[in-house]
Amino acid sequence: MVKAKKYQFLAIVILVIASLSTFVAFTYDDAFCVTGYTREGIIRFNEFSTYTSDEPLLFIFAGIIGLFFAILLSFTTTKFWFFVVNFVMLMFMAIPMNMFSAAPFYQVIYDSIFQCGHRALLSTVLMFYLYWGFVAIYLIKSES
Residue-wise pLDDT for 44-59, tens only, equals: 776 665 545 567 788 8
> Domain extents for the chain?
4-137
**What's the residue count for the chain?**
144
d(C-alpha 44, C-alpha 28), whole Å:
11
pLDDT of residue 51: 47
DSSP state of 142: -
Q: Please name every residue paired with 34 in a beta bridge, in sequence order, or none if there are none.
A: 43
Closest CA to 70 of 28, 26, 117, 9: 9
> How far apart are the C-alpha atoms of 63 and 92, rounded to whole Å?
11
Helix H or strand E segment including 43 = strand 42-44
Give the Cα separation of 138 and 69 in Å (integer): 17
CA atoms within 13 A on the CB side of 52: 18
Q: Look at 50 and 131; give whichever has higher pLDDT.
A: 131
Note whether 5 and 12 are within 8 A (CB).
no
Residues 6+ apart with CB under 8 A from 62: 19, 22, 93, 96, 97
Q: Give 8-62 pLDDT, tens digit per residue.
A: 999 999 999 999 999 888 887 677 888 776 666 777 776 665 545 567 788 889 9
Q: Is 42 exposed, middle or buried (0-12, 13-18, 19+ CB in 10 A)?
A: middle
Q: How confident is the model at residue 86 (pLDDT cuts 50, 70, 90)?
A: very high
